[in-house]
Structure 1
Amino acid sequence: MTLEIPREARQQAIASIERYFNEHMEERIGNIAAGALLGFFLEEVGPLIYNQAVADVQERLQARINEIDIEVHEEPFLYWQKYEKAKKPR
């Protein structure tokens, strides 16, 4: 599975790769080579990152689902308590 990114994000990623090479590597990388390197990482490593993100979301959603009973819980059999309170003089 190759991850697709929007064109503008791809251009920014390529520029970032070029800058990284210019500042941290002994040789420069051109625009085409940076685009190819980005494509390689998106295809090779992208699914790993994507799968981890999905697992993180699943974990967070499961935690929310586990708390749903606390958020929406309603006590049963309160009618008579309410009725008795209404009858008591203040």
Structure 2
Amino acid sequence: MKETRFSKDQKERMVSKIKSYFHDELDQDIGGFEAEFLIDFFARELGPYFYNRGIFDAQQIFNEKAEEVGYVIQELEQPESY
């Protein structure tokens, strides 16, 4: 699997969210550097679980839509005379 890269703006927003979470929920302050290491850890160790779940969900939706298309195509069939 290809490594996920985030834009500078995305990474800054993630760092901000982690720092806020640590401050608000754990009453601890962490620096931006530590927050980036945490992001890298989550991406490397937990990211595949979220990625795979997203793939599974996308496959489910695709299958449902393909089935719907199959029904629509079936409705287009013309009656055959014998």
TM range (shorter): 0.7 to 0.9
Farther-moved stretch of structure 1 (21-30 vs 51-60): 21-30
Q: What TM-score do the two structures reach when normalised by structure 2? A: 0.83
1:27 alignment partner in structure 2? 28
Aligned equivalents of 1:69, 1:10: Cα separation in 2: 42
Aligned length: 79
Give 1:76's match in structure 2, choosing from 75, 78, 81.
78
Superposed CA RMSD: 1.8
Q: Secondary structure at the match of 1:24?
A: helix
CA drift of 1:23 comes to 1.0
CA drift of 1:53 comes to 0.3
Larger Rg: 1
Structure 2 unaligned blocks of 5 or more: none
Q: Percent identity?
A: 24
Q: What TM-score do the two structures reach when normalised by structure 1? A: 0.76
CA drift of 1:77 comes to 3.9
Kindly indicate whether residue 56 of structure 2 is the aligned counterpart of residue 55 of structure 1: yes
Farther-moved stretch of structure 1 (4-13 vs 42-51): 4-13
CA drift of 1:72 comes to 2.4
1:11 alignment partner in structure 2? 12
Which structure exhibits the higher relative contact order, with contacts defined as CA atoms closer than 8 Å and separated by 6 or more residues? 1
Q: Secondary structure at the match of 1:29?
A: coil
